[in-house]
Structure 1
Amino acid sequence: MTPDLTYRALNAGDFAALHAMASDWSIVRQLGRWPWPAQEAFTRNRCKPYAGDGFVWAVCLGGRLIGTMAVTGGELGYMFAPDVQGRGIATKAARDAIAHAFEDYNFAALKATVWVDNAGSAAVLRKCGFTHWHTYYDQSPSRLPTLTHSFRLSRDTWDRLRTAAQ
C-alpha cells in the first residue's frame, strides 16, 4: 500500500533535508541540472515557491520532506531520498503531479528524461503512461555526456488511461 503523501511549495525550512539529498551522489547523479558537489547557495535558491510555468512540490510523508516532484515548462522531474525509494512513492507522486499538470495547466503533453542507467525512474514513467520517443547524449553539471532517454505523455493518452482505470 502506498503511504499518504502531502504536497506543498518548498520553503526556507526545507534547506537541511533538501541539501542532504543534494549532497548524496546516488541522487544527484540522476538529476539533470543539480551541481556536484552540492552547493549550499544552489540548494537555498531552490527552497522557495516556484514562480515559473508549472509547479514544484515538496513531497512529505508524516511531515518529513522526502523528495520533490515538479512539472516545469511541461517537463516532469523529481528526486527522492534513498530510504523511500522502491516503495511506489515516486509513482504515486508522479501520477498526482501529472493529473494536476493536465487539469490546471495548459500542457498538451508532458515530457521527461532519464539517464540510460536509471531503470527505476524509467519504470516510474512507464507506469504513468509515458512512452520512449528519443535517445541522445546529454550532460549535466554532475555528468559527462551520457545516453539519455526522452519520454512523453500526451493529455489524450493520460485521459484514456485514467478512464480505463476507473
Structure 2
Amino acid sequence: MILYTERLILRPWADSDAESLYEYARDDRVGPIAGWPVHTSVENSREIIRTVLSVPETYAVCLKEDNKAIGSVGLKIGKKSILDLPDAEGEIGYWIGVPFWGQGLIPEAVREIIRHAFEDLGFETLWCGYFDGNEKSKHAQEKCGFTYHHTDKDVYLTLTNDIRTAHVTRLTREEWEKA
C-alpha cells in the first residue's frame, strides 16, 4: 500500500533504498535515541530493509519531489508491538533523518498513519512512546493528539544493550474523531 500526504509519499521499503537509509541511519543522533544502533554500511542498511523494514504497515517516508527515503513510519499491530496489544490496537514508531528535523514531516506522516489505522484498518486505540531525553519525539506525539498514559522504568533494549525509561502515549479513535 502507498499513502500520500501534502508533501510525502509513504511507501514500502525497497532494496534500492539502502544507500538513502544508510545516509540518515548512520548518524548517531537518530537511531540510539530511538532504541536502535547506528547503521555501519550500505550493506548493513540493506539487511535492515530486508529483515526489519520489509514488513506490513512499515513505510519509507519520502518527499514527493524525489521519492527518496528520508525516514520511516510504521504500525506494529497487536502482539507484534512491544506493548503486547490486542489485535484492534497498534503502536506507531517513526524516525527521520537529521536534515529534515523541525519541518513537521514526521507529524505529517504520523497523522496519515493515524488516519489509515482508524479509517482503513478499524483500530480503536493507537499507542506511541519515547525514551527519556527524546523531546523531539515527545513533541511530535503531542502534535498528533497523543496524550501521556504511563511510564515504564528499567526497559531493557536488546539492540543497544542498555536500560531506559520509556514514556507511553495513547490516542483513541474517539479522541481522534473529536479533534
When normalised by structure 2's length, the TM-score is 0.78
Match of 2:34 among 8, 20, 31: 31
What's 2:112 paired with?
96
- Does 1:69 pair with 2:68? no
What's 1:12 paired with?
15
What's 2:83 paired with?
none
What's 2:46 paired with?
44
Match of 2:166 among 135, 148, 162: 148
Cα gap change, 1:110/1:15 in structure 2, threshold over 3 Å: closer, same or farther? same
Cα gap change, 1:42/1:104 in structure 2, threshold over 3 Å: closer, same or farther? farther
- Any conservation in 2 of the 1:15–1:43 contact (CA below 8 Å)? yes
Q: Which structure 2 segments of 5+ residues have no match?
A: 78-89
Cα gap change, 1:6/1:20 in structure 2, threshold over 3 Å: closer, same or farther? same
Shift of 1:69: 0.9
Shift of 1:159: 1.0
Q: Distance in 2 between matches of 1:3 and 1:84?
A: 16
Render the CA deviation track for 1:40-74: whole Å, top value 9, x for unaligned: 6663244257444xx11111112221111111211
Which amino acid is 2:19 matched to?
A
Shift of 1:92: 0.8
Tell me how large the CA RMSD over aligned residues is: 2.2
What's 2:96 paired with?
80
What's 2:138 paired with?
122
Q: Distance in 1 between matches of 2:60 and 2:24?
A: 13
Render the CA deviation track for 1:84-127: whole Å, top value 9, x for unaligned: 01111111111111101111113211111101101111111111
Residue-pair matches, total: 157
- Any conservation in 1 of the 2:19–2:42 contact (CA below 8 Å)? no
- Any conservation in 2 of the 1:67–1:78 contact (CA below 8 Å)? yes
What's 1:164 paired with?
none
Q: Distance in 1 between matches of 2:170 and 2:102?
A: 22
Q: Distance in 1 between matches of 2:161 and 2:135?
A: 17
Match of 2:156 among 121, 127, 139: 139
- Any conservation in 1 of the 2:15–2:46 contact (CA below 8 Å)? yes
- Does 1:106 pair with 2:102? no
- Any conservation in 2 of the 1:36–1:142 contact (CA below 8 Å)? no
Shift of 1:38: 4.0
Which amino acid is 1:12 matched to?
D
Which amino acid is 1:119 matched to?
E
Cα gap change, 1:16/1:109 in structure 2, threshold over 3 Å: closer, same or farther? same
Paired-residue identity, %: 30
Q: Distance in 2 between matches of 1:145 and 1:125?
A: 22
